[in-house]
Structure 1
């Protein structure tokens, strides 16, 4: 009789770990890519204050995109406000974004210097369990 209980506990622990992993990736996505008040002149300070760098290093990230929207609006892309786009989900509506591009190629965090550029584009993100967990790219939308 103990075996089924042990399996249930193991299954429950596995589900908790998976959900925690998605939650961690969602929080990282929000930190790296969401700022409703972002401007092109704030790239250096936002990237430094949010400690954004290349994954698992202190190297400056080549580019980082900030989405000027609230988290609920971005989350809705993972539902009715998005459509499949390869392995990603594409927003049905364009977003205001700021793309920060590294200017000093050899620098290390926190001495990264960026040039900000404002755009209005559809965005492609990866969704897991209804949450955005990865920003893939911005997409130029041409009207027919």
Structure 2
């Protein structure tokens, strides 16, 4: 074991130094981006009906309690991230938000039923909509809302 650690010394030191140099704000931004992706990103949905909503809301941990409304964006990640830049997005309301220049395929899941406790029942509304997102340092971190495409 000592021989293993001795041989790993420079690598281990480099790893520890790398962890120390990672900015806490960068880590926090990555956490916010990860949260956004968990709640709103599903590249290739299997169906876009009520069963889809019930399954994905449960899988993503959005049913403790039942979340009232949640929208999943079905574009590829680079296209969603690009909305944070000028090529695929424009400033929207006070510059904090960005609106996509092109609509995305989305599914909005609406909770229906009396209880906020599982099992949660959802109705799916598939559509093509423009997305309005908040970005931090070029990363999507919040889905504000969507706007119907004409």
Which TM-score bucket, shorter chain as reference?
0.7 to 0.9
Map of 2:12 onto structure 1 = none
Aligned twin of 1:68: 74
Partner of 1:19: 26
Q: Give the secondary-structure state (helix, strand or coil) at the position aligned to 2:83.
A: helix
Unaligned runs of 5+ in 1: 1-12
Question: Which residue of structure 1 lines up, in the alignment, with residue 136 of structure 2?
Answer: 128
> What is the aligned-residue RMSD (CA, Å)?
1.9
Gap regions ≥5 residues in structure 2:
1-19
Aligned to 1:7: none
SS of the residue aligned with 1:30?
A: helix
Alignment length, in residue pairs? 126
TM-score when normalising by structure 1: 0.80
Structure 2 length as normaliser, TM-score? 0.77
Off by >6 Å, runs of 4+ in structure 1? none
Q: Deviation digits for residues 35-89 of structure 1, max 9, x if unmatched? A: 1222223000001011125xxxx32111000001111110000012000111310
Q: Secondary structure at the match of 1:46?
A: helix
- The correspondence for 2:111, drawn from 87, 102, 110, is 102
Greater Rg over alpha carbons, structure: 2
